[in-house]
Amino acid sequence: MAKEFEPNIIGFLCNWCSYAGADLAGTSRIRYPPNVKSIRVMCSGRVDPVFILEAFKKGADGVLVAGCHPGDCHYQSGNYKTNRRIKLLKKLLDELGVETQRVRFEYISASEGQKFAAVVTDFVNELKNMGQNPIAKTLLL
């Protein structure tokens, strides 16, 4: 019997809000799927769209970028830039044949452990339905 497809998700979490929120989910022992492995950045504004493209190129099934809620960015406006970058990136992904739902940008605060777990759970389920990243196999490297 074939094993169920488990999407591989990479997370980019900002140090001040979303990474702390993810930690809080852990401190509160909230169970959620292990599919997300996160990279800590100081600000979601550090997330270069190239990282996201590389992630898909190398086979990631989904990318989660999480930053502070609007107005809360520790560095004033990083999260606004990320929001705009990801909107543009989605257009590019569309052209490349990658479903835009494979990238998620979420606002998660340091006290939203529940939300982090809920977002990951929902993302995993969505990706399970969508299946594997289509370009991982077709792109010649």
Partner 1 sequence: MKKKIGVYICECGPNIAEKIDIDKVIDAVSSLDGVAVVDRYKLLCSVDGKKFLEEQIKKQGITHLVVAACSPKQHEQTFMEVCINAGINPYLFQLANIREQCAWITEDKDEATKKAIILVKAAIGRVRYHDSLEKKEIECNPSVLMIGGGIAGIESSLLLASPDRTVYLVEKTSSLGGLITSFEKTYPNMQSCNSIKQKIENIYKNENIKVFTDSEVEEVLGFFGNFEVKVKRETEENEIDEFNVGAIVLATGSTLFDPDKIPRYGYGKIDNVITALEFEKMNLSGGILLKNNKPPKSVAIIHCVGRNEKGYCSEICCMYSLKFVRYLKDKLPDVKVTNFYSDLCIPGKSDQKFYEETKGKNVDFVRATDIEITKQGDKINIKYKNENNKNSLPIDMVILSPAVEPTSDASKLAELTSISQGDGGFFSEEHEKLSPISTSTDGVYIVGCAQGPKNISETIVQAGAATGKILSSLIPGRKIEPEVKTSQISESSCGGCKICNSVCPYGAITFDEAKRISVINEVICRGCGSCTATCPTGAAINKHFTFDQIYQELIEIVK
Partner 2 sequence: MIDKEQYTDVLVIGAGIAGIEASLMFSKADRKVHLVEKTSYTGGTAIKFEEVFSNMECSTCMMAPRQQELLQDKNINLLTLAEVEEVKGSFGKFTVKIHKKARYVDMQNCIGCNACFEPCPVSLKNEFEEGLSEIKAIYVPFAGALPNVPMIDTDHCLRFKGKDKDCKACQEACMFEAIDFNQKDEQLELKVGAIVAATGFNIFDSRKTPQYGYAKVNDVYTALEFERLYASNGPTEGNIVLKNGNAPKSAAIIHCVGRDEKGYCSSVCCMYSLKFNHYLKSKIPEIKISEFYTDLCIPGKSHQKFYEKMKETEVDMIRASDIEISKQGKGIAVKYINGNGKKNSLPVDMAILAPAIEPRDDASKLAKILGISIDEYGFLEEENRDDSSVAISEPGVFVAGCAQGAKNIQDSVSQSCAAVGKVLSSSKYREKN
The binding site for partner 1 (CB under 8 A) comprises 8, 10, 15, 19-20, 22-23, 25-27, 29-32, 34, 37-43, 45-51, 54-55, 58-60, 74-78, 81, 85, 117
CA-based torsion, 106, 109, 112, 113: positive or negative: positive
**Which SS3 state, helix, strand or coil, does residue 122 take?**
helix
**Which SS3 state, helix, strand or coil, does residue 133 take?**
coil
Please give the DSSP secondary-structure letter assigned to residue 2: P
Question: Smallest gap, in angstroms, from Cβ of residue 104 to partner 1?
Answer: 16
Q: Which is nearer to partner 1, 81 or 100 (CB)?
A: 81
Q: Return the one option of partner 1, partner 2, none that residue 66 interacts with (CB less than 5 to 8 A, by type).
A: none
Contact call for residues 39 and 65 (beta carbons, < 8 A): no
Footprint on this chain of partner 2 (rule: CB under 8 A): 16-17, 20, 24, 27-29, 68-69, 71-72, 74, 109-115
Question: Smallest gap, in angstroms, from Cβ of residue 82 to partner 1?
Answer: 8
What's the rounded Cα separation, in Å, for the pair 117 and 122? 9
Q: Return the one option of partner 1, partner 2, none that residue 43 interacts with (CB less than 5 to 8 A, by type).
A: partner 1
Q: Which is nearer to partner 2, 9 or 20 (CB)?
A: 20
Q: Return the one option of partner 1, partner 2, none that residue 128 interacts with (CB less than 5 to 8 A, by type).
A: none
Range list of H helices, the chain: 18-27, 49-57, 78-96, 113-130, 135-138
Give, to the nearest 10 degrees, the angle between helix 78-96 and helix 49-57.
40
